[in-house]
Amino acid sequence: MNLCLAILRRELALAWQRPAELARHALFFVMTAALFPLSLRPDPATLALLGPGVLWAAALLAVLLACGRWFDEDLRSGWLDQCQLAAQAAELPLALPLAMRFVAQWLLVAGPVLLAAPLVALQFDLQGAALAALMVSLLLGSAVLVQLAGVAAALAAGLRGAGLLTLLMVLPLATPALVLGTLAVHAAQQGQPAGPALQLLAALLALASIACPWLGAVALKQAVGD
């Protein structure tokens, strides 16, 4: 328990010292999504058609770009060593502190994007049920994306050019979340229930939450022991 709290607290304290980092992810999302209404035909029907896809793709890139080099500094400074030793001493799996790290990263990266999303959605005339579907799908989907990116970052920890590698590894794995997320919003726009797609997305999140911390822990142990 101490282990989890200490990790969460340190990550939040570090993020507090770098507020520009937090704003950068949200700004990337807002700028990417805002360029489309300006460059497309300014016609409500077109915007409503393209809106879900554009918003989701922009959010996906914003989250993935933020997650390239999570573990490099922690590996260099020996912080990961100390996490592993503390987990060993408490006879806990390393997956537990890693899961905590994912939670912190999700709050810090997906949080600002989620806060900005309703404003950007106005540009695409997303309202009511469609907006609700967008927010719920982003909430679930961003948690999946952060965990996938975390596993990739753990695999690439300590390698040069790891940022690009992470992105390449995660993009194909992230597509199911993208497809399900946009499906939910499209369904809500047409007055159909968004529930089935959101439930599948929630199932995806459950799967990722079980598998990703373990996979990431295996990769990090390898990086620490090298």
Partner 1 sequence: MPPPRLVLRGMVGVRQGRRLWGPLTLALSAGSALHLQGPNGSGKTTLLRTLAGLRAPAAGHCERDGEAWFIGHALPLADELDALANLRGWLGLSARVDDAVLQAWLDQMQVPRQRPLRQLSAGQRRRLALAPLALQPRPLWLLDEPFDALDAAGQSALCALAQSHLASGGALVLSAHQGLPAGFPACEALWLGPADWVGTVGQ
Binding site for partner 1 (CB under 8 A): 2-3, 5-7, 9-10, 13-14, 17-18, 73, 76-79, 81-86, 88-90, 224-225
Strands, DSSP E only, in the chain?
none
Q: Return the SS3 of 174.
A: helix
Identity of the residue, 17 or 190, whose beta carbon is nearer to partner 1 in the bound complex: 17
Locus of tokens 């997303």:
126
- C-alpha closest to that of 140 among 200, 93, 205, 84: 205
The residue type found at 39 is S
Q: From the CB of 69, what's the least distance to partner 1, in Å?
A: 15
- Cα–Cα distance for residue pair 127/40, rounded to 1 Å: 20
Give ∠ CA 211-144-15 in degrees, rounded to 5. 105
Identity of the residue, 37 or 213, whose beta carbon is nearer to partner 1 in the bound complex: 213
- Cα–Cα distance for residue pair 62/12, rounded to 1 Å: 19
**Is residue 120 within 8 Å of residue 42, measured between CB atoms?**
no
Identity of the residue, 12 or 122, whose beta carbon is nearer to partner 1 in the bound complex: 12
Identity of the residue, 98 or 130, whose beta carbon is nearer to partner 1 in the bound complex: 98
Q: From the CB of 169, what's the least distance to partner 1, in Å?
A: 25
Identity of the residue, 9 or 115, whose beta carbon is nearer to partner 1 in the bound complex: 9
